[in-house]
Structures are given as C-alpha cells and as structure tokens.
Amino acid sequence: MTEKKLYKGFTLINGTGETPIENAFFIVEEKRVVKIGNAADLENHDNVEVIDLTGKTVMPGLINSHVHINMEPVGDPFASNDSDAKIAFRTAANLKKHLYAGTTFFRDLGGNRFIDIEARDAVNSGLLEGPEFLAAGQCICMTGGHGWSAGGREADGPDEVRKAAREQLRAGADLLKVMATGGVMTKGVEPGSPQLSEEEMRAAIEEAHNVGKKTATHAQGTVGIKNAVRAGIDSVEHAIFLDDELIEMMVARGTYIVPTLAAVDFIVKNGTEAGIPEYAVRKAKSVQEAHKESIRKAYKAGVKIAMGTDSGTPFNLHGSAPYEVKLLNECCMTPMDALVAATKGSADCLGILENYGTLEEGKFADFLVLDENPLDNLDTLFNINSVYKLGRKVR
C-alpha cells in the first residue's frame, strides 16, 4: 500500500503568484502532491494520515539559482589550497545547511575538481542528505580571467572553449557556466571589463544547447553582458551594469537575471576587518548602488528574475536564501514577486519547472511550513517551522 498523507487547514501560497488559498488542503502520495483544494470541500479520506496545519502558511521550498557548494564563505575563499577530502567533507556539511534553512533545490555554478558533480550524485543516491541540485562543474574562463583561481577551466579561442565545454559535459555537468566579465573576488581584474568574447561563449553555449542543457554567465559590465546575451546565454548572473538596450534585449529573448544582491551586500557589510581582501571590498562598494539601480530597472521593464545568493563568497553563508529574498524585496520587488522569483522563477531558470517550483497537482512535495504568512512578514523565512523534501519531513 502506498503511503498517503493529508495536510489541511493552512494558507497556501503555491508559488505561481496567484492569490493564496485560505483553509487549503493537499494530499501527498509518496513523493508528490496528488490533490489540492479547499478543506471545506474535503470528502472523507480513509487510510490517510491527517496532519492539521491550522494557522500555518505553506509555500514551495526555496530554489537557489546560484551556489558554490564546495566553497567555504570565509574572508578570502579563493585563497585556500584545500585537499579534495576537506572540500568533500565541507560540501556534505554545506548541503545540510541549505536544506535546513528551507532551500530544497539549488544550482551550483562552479565547483572544484568536479567534487560538485560527485556530491550531486551522492545526494541523488541517498548517500548524502541535502537538496537536489544541478551542477555546472568547472566554470569556463579566459586565461587569468575571473574564476581562474577558484578552480575554473581556463580556455582561449572558440575551439578551446568548445573543448572545455565538452570536458564539463563528459564529467556529467547539468549546465555550463561561462565567464563574460571580470569580478569582485579575483585580484587584478575589474568587474566592468569584458573577458570571454561573444564567439568564445557561443561555442560553449552551442555545446550545451546541442544536448538540451542550459547556460549561465558571470557577467557584471555592460559590454560583457551584451556579448553573452547575443551569444544566446540563458541566465545572466549578477548583472551589475545594465543599459536600456540590454534590458530590451533580455525582455525580447526571455533571458533570466539572477541578481545575487547578497554577494555584494555581505562583502560591503563585513569589510576588510573581517579578512576580506581590500580589492574585493573596494570593488563591491563601488558597484553596489549601480547594481540595485540596474535590477530595479530590469524588474520594472519585465526582465525575468530568479533568486540566487552566490553562497560561498565571503560571509555569504550556505542557506542564505531568505536573506536574498529580503534584499530583492528591499531593492524593488513586492513580497509576492520576491517569493515567486525564489520558487517558480528559479525553477523555470533551471529548467525544472515541470516537477518543482510550485505546489500544484503532480509536482514533487518540496514545501515549507511557516508560522506566519511571509507576505505579511518575510522574516518568518529565517525561522522556518518545518521543511519537507520529496514528501518527507527533514526538519
């Protein structure tokens, strides 16, 4: 006999942006939500375990579109020369932190020596506890470009980038990450400067799209972002300097932005006193206002936005998704739109919307039980009552 559970009495925010259902119920059979409705219409259900959630709010588990699960969020995470074993143990611990803080699925955008891919497989086989996730393997960057000192695969020229892309796919990457511009955390490179060229990125993007996989780019400066969008990228990470032409291009192509406001915020808030390199603090401070302005403009114009934290960067803890939701709200988004970005938006960005991201009949039962309605108080996401993954209570 299959196990059935009936949850009832709660306010349901289903992740689509629709008006919440009061006094809702759903039935979970094995790993999926099989029926949803209003508890007032509930017929008798025999042989069903009933869980009364009166007074609670239920929403889909958070989906974090930008994580570095192998990275330790210390002042200078790129400086470490840790062994594979140490990185693996750390990764196992980081996975639990995300799950217990309400992230039930995420996307890793750049790991070390394919330990990200091994961890993904370990979660899927039940060896490690954690959210399911998609892994990009090594990020692909130009020689000396952003990411090279963080385990990136350096490649120059379209042919070599194509080869680097194929290496990631051979290792089992679910998507590819290419570096379009400089960044904050690499010494000697500037966030605004373009790096991999349009032709180079196009080679990698073609390889991913040939096998039905998505692509993401680290892109901060306008020229580099345009190169990536023209090359056919699926999501732009950070998107610090946008202009009107770029916003129009992204709306027309349906390109996602993953703002990662938390990454810059944690660097600025903690500063050099906390051991963050001077060049990183200087660069983060100089871009923060322009970044928020770009995200505001893009949101107003209707660019699709997904939630991602860049966890693993300085003091950007694993499990920081609620913090990013708050920052999206403070920057410009309504609480409902911020929640949609963190659930349905991220699932769409990752290409997993068929099974995840909303609470609708047929989807996986990944959900959060909250003591308060987050539409009234987003802070309730920092104190989640319980987390369910594939129908099982994990916290």
Q: What residues make contact with Zn ion under the rule CB under 5 A?
A: 310
The nearest distance, CB 263 to Zn ion, in angstroms, is 7
Closest CA to 325 of 63, 58, 108: 63
Q: Which residue number is nearest to Zn ion in terms of Cβ?
A: 310
Nearer to Zn ion, 108 or 366 (CB): 108
Structure tokens at 154: 């350096």
The nearest distance, CB 1 to Zn ion, in angstroms, is 45
Beta-strand runs (E) in 13-53? 21-29, 32-38, 49-52
Element (H, E) at 93: helix 84-100
The nearest distance, CB 167 to Zn ion, in angstroms, is 20
Nearer to Zn ion, 67 or 338 (CB): 67
The nearest distance, CB 110 to Zn ion, in angstroms, is 6
The nearest distance, CB 34 to Zn ion, in angstroms, is 37
Q: Whole-angstrom Cα distance, residue 326 to residue 380?
A: 11
Place of tokens 């680097």: 164
Q: What DSSP string describes 168-237? A: HHHHT-SEEEEE-B--SSSTT--TTSB-S-HHHHHHHHHHHHHTT-EEEEEE-SHHHHHHHHHHT-SEEE
CB atoms near residue 148 (< 10 Å): 18
Whether the CB-CB separation of 387 and 104 falls below 8 Å is answered with yes
The nearest distance, CB 286 to Zn ion, in angstroms, is 19
Place of tokens 């960005």: 349
State the helix-helix crossing angle for 115-124 and 84-100, rounded to 10 degrees.
50
Q: What is the dihedral of CA 375, 377, 383, 384, to 10 degrees?
A: -10
Nearer to Zn ion, 57 or 112 (CB): 112
The nearest distance, CB 52 to Zn ion, in angstroms, is 41
Nearer to Zn ion, 109 or 338 (CB): 109
Nearer to Zn ion, 136 or 369 (CB): 136
- 172, exposed or middle or buried, with CB in 10 Å at 0-12, 13-18, 19+? middle
Closest CA to 259 of 287, 295, 303: 295
Nearer to Zn ion, 90 or 389 (CB): 90
Per this entry, what is the length of the chain? 395
Nearer to Zn ion, 310 or 348 (CB): 310
Nearer to Zn ion, 39 or 67 (CB): 67
The nearest distance, CB 371 to Zn ion, in angstroms, is 32
The nearest distance, CB 231 to Zn ion, in angstroms, is 19
Q: Which residues, in sequence order, are CB contacts of 377 under 8 Å at separation 6+?
A: none
